[in-house]
Structures are given as C-alpha cells and as structure tokens.
C-alpha cells in the first residue's frame, strides 16, 4: 500500500526529500508556511521587478546535485552566471561554475515540486504521533494526518521547536548555530555601480553587493541591486524597522562604493531570521527509525544550497528504506 509522508518546509531540502520519496512510490504532501516555495533560494518581487534576495548563485560539488543542475540547465531553468568580480572573488575565473535559476533563483527549486501535493500558507506549530500515525497542527488550529512518516526540513532552531521531546533528534540540533541576514533590494533608474557585478566583504556592515540584472535572463532598464548585511550587523539590528535598515544599508553601500547621491526608485529590506549557518551539525541528516521522523537542511552538512539538496535527498532515501 502507498504510504503517506508529510514534509514540513518547501526549501531545497524539503523538496529534494519529497522528490526521492515520491519517485519511490510514496504519497507525499508538503506543508510550507510561506505563499511561495523555494525558501532561501527564492525570488521576491517589488511591484513587477524580481530580485534574488536569498541565495545569489548555486555551486555543485556532489554528483547528485551536479546532475540535477545539468538537468535544469538543459531545460532552461538554470544558466551559468559569469559575474565580473574583483580579485579573489568568484565570477568568470572562479574554481566552480556559478549557476543561477532563470528567470529567477526560484527556478532552481520549482522543478522538484512535480507530482507532489504542496500546501502553502501552512505554518506547522506541533507534530505528534498518535495511534494511527503522525498528525500535524497548523497555526489556524486545523490539522492533517495520519502520516506514516514525517520529514522536518526547516532551519535548525525551528526544527528544535517542532521536535520537542524527541531528544534523540532535538538534542544534537542545539549544536547548530544560525545567524540572521538582512537582504536589501534596490531598484535604480540609471546604471550606477562601478564595473564589477559582485562585491564582497566590503565593510563591517555590508557583506555582499550584486548587480541582480547582470544575471542571465534579467536584463532591463536601470539597475537592480541586492545587498546582504554582515551577520554581526544583522544580529544587532534584527528587531529594527525594515525601512530604517534599508536607509542605513544603502547609505553604507553608497559610501563604500563611492556612489553619487542617488535616490533609489524603490528599496525594500527583508530579514532572513535564520539565514546563514555558522556551525553545522556535521551529519547528513538525522532520522529516528523508532519514531519514523527525520530532519534535513543545509545546516546538517554546511551552509549552501547544495548541502540542503543533498541532505534532503539522502533523508528521503533513508526514510524510504525504513518503510520497506
Ligand atoms: C542571504 C543569503 C544568501 C545566501 N547565498 C547563498 C549562495 O550564494 N549560494 C548558496 O549555495 N547558498 C546560499 N545561501 C544558503 C541557501 O539559501 C540555503 O543553504 C538553502 O536555501 C537552504 O535550504 P533549506 O531547504 O535547508 O532551508 P530553507 O530554504 O530555509 O527552507 C525551509 C522552508 O521551511 C519553511 N518553514 C520553516 N518553518 C516552518 C514551519 N513551522 N511550518 C511550515 N514551513 C516552515 C520556510 O518558510 C522555508 O520555505 C544563502 C542564504 C541566505 C539567507
């Protein structure tokens, strides 16, 4: 009989886990708190203008992820970004090719969602195993279940909350450290940035600036710019008003790049509360055979999209083997 699996979180980890389970014959349902899928590999819009406000590009080291990215490139969902960079930075001369989703980073995640039922706008606040299987409760007090297995594919601090008393899974997660990251999206009617497309580690405040419109498939008038603040500054300001953060970050970028005093046409700051991994778990995933619940995410293996993908895929494989 087809077994029912719930996956919490529609980022790269949750989606790659779901794909492996679905291909092995399980009925898979994903529950995602946001209205869109992709998590930190996402594309936000200010009006009609798209910005890659999370992951900037993707690299692929494992054969598993390489073959997925090649599949995407062959079908038009991804392309190489030969960014012009300063010395020591990636771009055209980097060791590993940089790939981006086309027309936005969200396209890296979207093809994984095929044949899987996705429920968006569903923030899970409790999971519990009852007599017939796992049940999930949402913030609006509705629930879903029973499921034979559950995969929790959310940032480690959120996973700890959901796993509660399941100490064998919750305790190791205490080792993981994640930092917030402010992302600033700026649209300017003229071209203002100096020649490079990416700038990194520019000051105590600004960690990354990129010319979003230099990525393949994003041409347009003027300039779309994505700025990421440093983890330290982001932590100091995580409760600040986003408009004040936007002003301060743009002021800092203008200062360090020596830009003329230009008022952006649009400017929005977004906080990734658990954005970047400082200390990872050092294991590919965690799975309890006894309870039939597992956890995956970038924070298991590292801090990159490729780590999330591999962690999710290998959790899916382990869950599938545990049900045979
Ligand atoms: C600013 C920034 C820049 C980055 N740059 C790069 C880069 O250039 N290259 C690179 O490879 N990586 C980069 N990364 C890292 C990369 O984005 C992540 O490693 C990867 O996207 C993590 O995927 P994930 O599935 O583990 O987690 P996520 O993408 O965070 O997915 C988790 C999902 O779970 C959902 N969720 C959380 N809690 C609940 C709940 N209770 N109920 C339901 N849903 C829930 C979230 O909404 C989210 O969609 C960057 C990250 C950030 C924040």
Cα–Cα dist 310/225, whole Å: 30
DSSP secondary structure string for all residues of 44-78: EEETTEEE--S---B---SHHHHHHHHHHHHTTSE
Which residue, by CA, sits nearest to atom 38 of ligand 1?
A: 154
Per-residue pLDDT of 148-175, as tens digits, reads: 999 999 999 999 999 988 989 999 999 9
Contact 6, 301 (CB under 8 A): no
Residue 305: name the closest of 109, 76, 96, 37 by CA: 109
Q: pTM above the 0.85 mark?
A: yes
Can you give the pLDDT at residue 191? 87
Is pLDDT at 118 greater than 80 in this prediction? yes
Cα–Cα dist 250/222, whole Å: 17
Gyration radius (Cα) of the chain, Å: 20
Distance 274 CA to ligand 1 centre (A): 8
Is pLDDT at 90 greater than 60 in this prediction? no
**Band of residue 94 on the pLDDT scale cut at 50, 70, 90:** low
Which residue among 7, 8, 9 has the greatest number of ligand 1 atoms within 8 angstroms of its CB, and so is best to mutate? 9
Distance 12 CA to ligand 1 centre (A): 7
Q: Is the CB of 57 under 6 A from ligand 1?
A: yes
Can you give the pLDDT at residue 273? 97
Q: Is the CB of 275 under 6 A from ligand 1?
A: yes
Distance 308 CA to ligand 1 centre (A): 8
Which residue among 55, 62, 118, 299 has the greatest number of ligand 1 atoms within 8 angstroms of its CB, and so is best to mutate? 55
Write down the CATH number for the domain with range 177-278.
3.90.660.10
Q: Is the CB of 228 under 6 A from ligand 1?
A: yes
CB within 8 A of 220, min separation 6: which ones?
49, 213
Q: Is the CB of 145 under 6 A from ligand 1?
A: no
Can you give the pLDDT at residue 92? 45
Q: Is the CB of 8 under 6 A from ligand 1?
A: yes
Q: What is the 3-state secondary structure (H, E, C) of 168-236?
A: HHHHHHCCCEEEEEEEEEEEECCCCCCCCCEEECCCCCEEEEEEHHHCCCCCCCCEEEEEEECHHHHHH
Cα–Cα dist 249/106, whole Å: 25
Beta strands 223-229; 206-211: pairing state: antiparallel
Contact 83, 214 (CB under 8 A): yes
SS3 116: coil
Residue 58 DSSP label: B
Residue 265 DSSP label: S
Per-residue pLDDT of 192-235, as tens digits, reads: 888 899 999 889 999 999 999 999 998 777 899 999 999 999 99
Which residue, by CA, sits nearest to atom 52 of ligand 1?
A: 54
Is pLDDT at 124 greater than 70 in this prediction? yes
Q: Is the CB of 248 under 6 A from ligand 1?
A: no
SS3 118: strand
Q: Is the CB of 90 under 6 A from ligand 1?
A: no
Q: Is the CB of 53 under 6 A from ligand 1?
A: no
Q: Is the CB of 193 under 6 A from ligand 1?
A: no
Can you give the pLDDT at residue 164? 86
Which residue, by CA, sits nearest to atom 13 of ligand 1?
A: 55
| Whole-number percent of the chain with pLDDT over 70 | 97
Q: Is the CB of 50 under 6 A from ligand 1?
A: no
All structural domains of the chain with their residue ranges: 4-40+105-175+281-323, 177-278
Whether domain 4-40+105-175+281-323 has CATH 3.50.50.60: the reply is yes
Q: Is the CB of 163 under 6 A from ligand 1?
A: no
Residue that the structure tokens 């899987």 belong to: 116
Can you give the pLDDT at residue 78? 97
Q: Is the CB of 136 under 6 A from ligand 1?
A: no
Give just the sign of the alpha carbon dihedral 74, 78, 84, 89. Answer: negative
């Amino acid at each position: 009989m087809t077994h029912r699996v719930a996956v919490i979180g529609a980022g790269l980890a949750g989606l790659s886990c779901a794909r492996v389970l679905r291909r092995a014959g399980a009925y898979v349902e994903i529950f995602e708190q946001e209205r869109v899928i992709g998590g930190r590999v996402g594309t936000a819009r200010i009006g009609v203008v798209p910005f890659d406000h999370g992951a900037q590009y993707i690299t692929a080291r494992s054969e598993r992820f390489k073959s997925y990215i090649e599949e995407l490139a062959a079908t038009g969902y991804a392309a190489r970004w030969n960014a012009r960079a300063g010395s020591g930075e990636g771009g055209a001369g980097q060791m590993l090719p940089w790939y981006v989703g086309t027309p936005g980073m969200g396209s890296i995640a979207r093809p994984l969602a095929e044949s899987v039922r996705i429920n968006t706008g569903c923030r899970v606040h409790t999971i519990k195993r009852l007599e017939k299987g796992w049940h999930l409760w949402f913030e609006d007090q509705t629930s879903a279940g029973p499921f034979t297995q559950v995969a929790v594919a959310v940032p480690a601090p959120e996973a700890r909350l959901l796993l509660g008393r399941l100490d064998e899974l919750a305790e190791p997660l205490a080792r993981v450290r994640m930092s917030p990251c402010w992302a600033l999206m700026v649209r300017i009617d003229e071209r203002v940035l100096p020649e490079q497309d990416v700038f990194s580690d520019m000051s105590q405040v600004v960690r990354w600036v990129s010319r979003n419109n230099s990525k393949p498939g994003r041409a347009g008038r003027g300039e779309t710019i994505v700025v990421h603040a440093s983890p330290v500054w982001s932590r100091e300001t995580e409760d600040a008003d986003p408009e004040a953060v936007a002003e301060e970050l743009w002021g800092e970028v203008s200062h360090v790049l020596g830009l003329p005093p230009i008022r952006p046409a649009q400017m929005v700051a977004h906080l990734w509360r658990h954005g970047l991994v400082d200390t990872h778990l050092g294991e590919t995933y965690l799975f309890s055979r006894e309870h039939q619940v597992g956890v995956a995410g970038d924070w298991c293996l590292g801090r990159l999209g490729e780590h999330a993908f591999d962690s999710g895929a290998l959790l899916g494989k382990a869950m599938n083997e545990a049900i045979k």
